[in-house]
A and B are shown apart, each in its own frame.
Chain A
Amino acid sequence: EVRLVESGGGLVQPGRSLRLSCAASGFTFDDHGMHWVRQAPGKGLEWVSGISWNSGNIAYADSVKGRFTISRDNAKNFLYLQMNSLTTDDTAMYYCAKDIRVGATTRFGHFEDWGQGTLVTVSS
């Protein structure tokens, strides 16, 4: 059974940093690209960032480019999101998601499995 467990969310002041983690299990982690997707309270879904199986392809939404950094540790089966210069617009539930594509590809696909999310609140 695929399991994705996010952690690291919380209340943070504008301008500060936060690092999210996603522990993956139940599948071959380094066979899949991974993503972060967020959802502001009462709003729709927004893709934040994606990383291919070998970190060879990394992409960001324009809204976070230059502030957020995605990374992964295939030895530990972990996905990370380093978030710097946070603003109130970054307040959201952050979901870790597994890409449906399998194997040595740098192309992204759809989001096959999702974690339960970790809530990030940016407020003074």
Chain B
Amino acid sequence: EIVLTQSPATLSLSPGESATLSCRASQSVSSYLAWYQQKPGQPPRLLIHDATKRATGTPARFSGSGSGTSFTLTISDLEPEDFAVYYCQQVNNWPPALTFGGGTKVQLK
């Protein structure tokens, strides 16, 4: 099973600052990695898929990079609505196994 490790667990920042979230895979997932945002009491929302592609409606301040085993989600110029938990997720189709990282909480400093 491919394990995804997210760091840091918590990020304390102020609006206007930039956030850099990391996701490392225990083996290569090529570019089959997504990022989701989840706010309390809500389902997750897809932000980035296939490592670098913004989902429909994702603001341009969100960007994804990386391939293989190391990935980054960058949020530029944090807005108040960006404070949430972020999860990475990989797709391995042979055999099918889709796993999530443990999450990074971006909180108000």
Given A44-B103, A45-B89, A62-B1: A110 touches B34 (CB 8 Å cut-off): yes
Among A59, A108, A112, which residue has its beta carbon within 8 angstroms of that of B55?
A: A112
From B34, B44, B96, contact of A57 by CB (8 A): B96
Residue of B49, B55, B96, B103 with most partner-chain A CB within 10 A: B96
Report the separation of the CA atoms of residues A114 and B103 in the bound assembly, to the nearest whole angstrom: 18
- Asked whether B20 is an interface residue with its Cβ less than 8 Å from the other chain, the reply is no
Question: Contact residue range for chain A?
Answer: 20 to 34
Contact yes or no, A47 B98, CB < 8 A: yes
How far apart are the CA atoms of A98 and B99 in the complex, in Å? 16
A82 to B87, CA, bound (A): 27
B46 CB contact (under 8 Å) in A45, A95, A112, A116: A112
A12 to chain B, nearest CB (A): 22
Contact of A100 among B1, B49, B95 (CB under 8 A): B49
- Contacts from A to B (Cβ < 8 Å): 35, 37, 44-47, 50, 57, 59, 61-62, 95, 100, 107-117
